[in-house]
Copies of this chain bind each other. A is one copy, B any other.
Amino acid sequence: VETNQHVMAKLNKAGFKLTNQRRAIVKVLLEKQKDHLSAEEVYHFARKITPEIGLATVYRTMDLLVDLQVVDRISFKEAGMVLYDLRGDRGQHFHSHLICDRCGDVLEVEEDIMADIEPMIEEKFAFKIFDHQLTIHGLCQDCLKRGES
């Protein structure tokens, strides 16, 4: 599991300054690990920790963390809605999303579903895989019970 210290150390190592704003943002991301937050939401929670923070800083910091592979930028909602998702310890993103098209619920799949077929893909397309992003659409358990339409 990723810790606050760990992320801040990464920032520091990459030559970035450790400001209260960045600390607050990382803290929020760690606390809300289970959710997928929009920039606005990160801003909202970060404000409670450090009121002297602007939305622009959130955007700038999120860009930074995406570059450092600390978080993933995902966008499964409508256009213009980007969400952020904290990555695991090794900076690898081996979980996928099951999205229910009925109720909009998002299930996290922590395992790497694709581990078995990745080598096959690499060979077939002569492509070195670093990472993947899998989004599956369908109906969740609850909505299935309620009957399809």
Q: Residues of A at under 8 Å CB distance from B?
A: 73, 75, 79-80, 82, 98, 100-101, 107, 109, 113-114, 116-117, 121, 125-141, 144, 148
Contact = CB atoms under 8 A, between A and B. Distances in A.
Given A79-B75, A113-B121, A126 B98 contact: no
Contacts of A121: 98, 109, 113, 136
B130 A138 contact: yes
A144 B123 CA distance: 13
A134 B132 contact: yes
A66 to B, nearest CB: 10
Contacts of A114: 114, 117
Contact of A101 (B82, B130, B137): B130
Given A75-B75, A79-B73, A117-B114, A128 B139 contact: yes
A56 to B, nearest CB: 14
Contacts of A109: 121, 125
Across the A-B interface, the 7 shortest Cβ-Cβ residue pairs: A126-B141, A128-B139, A129-B138, A79-B82, A132-B136, A130-B138, A133-B135
